[in-house]
Structure 1
Amino acid sequence: MSSMDRLRLMWLIIVVGNIADVIISWFGWPTELRNTDIYIFDHNLVFNMYINYIFDYGGDSISFFQLLILLISLKILLIVMIYWFTKLADKLRVSHMKWVMLLPFVLITLGVDVYDVLSLTSLVLGSL
């Protein structure tokens, strides 16, 4: 497998994995919370920071779509950050090793997706 094929495979895993994370997270959000205005995510640091920021400045409700937009924008920001991080390889003249720079991001993406699938599976099996 050539270096370019590895690089394309890594980017494919990162992009598809992050899209799958958004979709699985959206389906995994508890349905009893979807109909209310306040969402609390104990395991997601970014959502908790956002919720605390809203509450500290007089807000008392967060819509479902605000959190969905937040998650999507964080994923876009992550992918852009990874892209510019790999551009560093061009500046260092090691562009044939870009796929190695993407390897940690791929492993994290796969880990998050496996965790999402396991969490969603336990949520579905728990509701049966």
Structure 2
Amino acid sequence: MLFAHAVALLHAAAVLFMLTGALLAVRWPRLVLPHAPLALTILAVNLAGADCPLTDLELALRQRAGLAAYDGGFLDHYFFGPLGLDVRAAGTQLGMYGTALGLNVLGYGLALSRRRGRPAPVGAATPASSAPCAPGTRAA
């Protein structure tokens, strides 16, 4: 039972990180390295309509522990079901994918714009038009 709960917590952490990782990468850019592959993997599993491996593992561990397996997926069981929402309904699907896509586009957009706005590293070549003028000369 403990392992099934641990997998459920890991699954929840993966979903939460998939939703917020791009926003966190604005502050900590190195988070892109684990976030991008995770987000793409979750997207691929969902678009393919495949069963999530973490859900399959949790269900197998629940059955091994003598607990009842649940119908549907992880989000349906732990999030949408308790809210009375049908995960297969078009509105729920639109909200789910829209939220995930929106947060990731926003996060990566902010991260890219922040990266572009950074000053050049010390010692980097500067374009002639932005180079400071020598004392006593005027800018063209």
Global fold match (TM > 0.5) = no
Instruction: Return the TM-score normalized by structure 1.
Output: 0.34
- Max Rg structure: 2
More helix by percentage: 1
Instruction: Return the TM-score normalized by structure 2.
Output: 0.31
